[in-house]
Amino acid sequence: MASHTDLPTDAVRELIEPVGAMSGRLPAWLRLVHWAIILNLLGQWLYGGWQVFVVLAPDGVVGPMFGAAAKVPYELMMARRMYALEAWVAFLGLAVYLGVTEVLPRRSGS
């Protein structure tokens, strides 16, 4: 039999009980939309990084371009910049969305 010291206090209970968007207070279809948004933004971020660092990588360059950037054709550099911008926008969107739907509710305790 558990003693009163084994039972979680209110502070511990707040830490272990789920809160925020995934607490079960949302209907299943809203949780599905929530995860679809997260996976979409994560996929866009990964796709942009893949395009910049793998697909549009100049021949013979692995990682940061440094001095090789001066030898890259203008069209390739602009394509890399557009995909990099797309990746940053997706990353920022994901960070803001997670901050508003997951982090903020946990901090406010609602």
Percent of the chain with pLDDT over 70: 77
Q: What is the pLDDT of residue 47?
A: 97
Domain of 97 in residue numbering reads as 63-102
> CB-based contacts of 61: which residues, under 8 Å, 6+ apart?
68
CA 8 remoteness from chain centre: 32
Residue 9 lies inside a defined structural domain of this protein:
no
Residue 21 lies inside a defined structural domain of this protein:
no
- Is the Cβ–Cβ distance between 87 and 48 less than 8 Å? yes
Count of domains for the chain: 1
Residue 75 lies inside a defined structural domain of this protein:
yes
Residue 20 lies inside a defined structural domain of this protein:
no
Residue 93 pLDDT > 60: yes
**Distance (Å, whole) CA 45 – CA 28:** 26
Q: pLDDT for 16-36, tens place per residue?
A: 455 554 555 778 889 999 999
- What is the pLDDT confidence band of residue 91, given thresholds at 50, 70 and 90? very high
Residue 69 lies inside a defined structural domain of this protein:
yes
The token pair that represents 63 in the structure block: 């990682």
Average pLDDT in the chain: 82
Percent of the chain with pLDDT over 90: 48
Residue 67 lies inside a defined structural domain of this protein:
yes
Residue 73 lies inside a defined structural domain of this protein:
yes
> CB-based contacts of 33: which residues, under 8 Å, 6+ apart?
none
Residue 98 lies inside a defined structural domain of this protein:
yes
